[in-house]
Amino acid sequence: MDPAEVEFLAEKEMVKIIPNFSLDKIYLIGGDLGPFNPGLPVEVPLWLALNLKQRQKCRIVPPEWMDTDLYTFTWNLNTDCNRRLNATGSDWTRLSAISHKYQFTFIIGQRANPRTSLTRNVMAVIDKPEGQSFTR
């Protein structure tokens, strides 16, 4: 299973965003989303969240599990285990989703909340080169 396909599957996970636009409910084939009101959090699939973020229409809220301690734990697991386990299973999908969240966390860290310790710590962990296990 190549990385692009794993990312494709990871993008189905739901994530909370805070939009800066308003739109009433949209009825996608895969489910209903919205309505969108500026400043109010709403759950959307990751592929939509990333697209909206790119168009600067929302802010993505890191999920609770994206904490540094859990992250280092799963990061170690990721570097030690067979890559093929990166398939649709909730924890492994989250690992794939991390590569995307890296992009937006990086953007958030740079432009929105550079001083938040959460984003700083997570980014420090993400920037660790692969193959090195991260020990505290």
Partner 1 sequence: MADGLSEGSDLSAGEEGQEDVLTPAELITKLEEAWLNEKFSPELLENKSELVECVMEQLTHMEENLQRVRKGDVKASVHRMEIDRIRFVLSSYLRFRLQKIEKFFPHVLEKEKSRADGDPSFLSPEEFAFAKEYLANTEVYLRAVALKHMPPNLQNIDMLKAVPEPCLDSFVFLRVKERQENILVEPETDEQREYVVDLDEGSQHLMRYRTIAPLVSSGAVQLI
Contacts with partner 1, residue ranges (CB under 8 A): 1, 8, 21, 23-31, 33, 47-48, 51, 84-85, 87-89
Q: Which of 46, 45, 49 is nearest to 18 (CA)?
A: 49
Query: How far apart, in Å, are the Cα atoms of 75 and each of 22, 50, 51, 64?
Result: 37, 22, 26, 16
Of 21 and 134, nearer to partner 1 (C-beta) is 21
Of 88 and 132, nearer to partner 1 (C-beta) is 88
- As measured in angstroms, the least distance from the Cβ of 40 to partner 1 is 17
- As measured in angstroms, the least distance from the Cβ of 113 to partner 1 is 26
Beta strands 58-60; 14-19: pairing state: antiparallel
Of 31 and 39, nearer to partner 1 (C-beta) is 31
Please report, for the chain, how many H helices and E strands are present, in that order. Answer: 5, 5
- As measured in angstroms, the least distance from the Cβ of 98 to partner 1 is 19
Residue 63's region, left for phi above 0, alpha for psi from -120 to 50, else beta, is beta
Of 69 and 91, nearer to partner 1 (C-beta) is 91
- As measured in angstroms, the least distance from the Cβ of 87 to partner 1 is 4
Q: Which two tokens stand for residue 62?
A: 């890191």
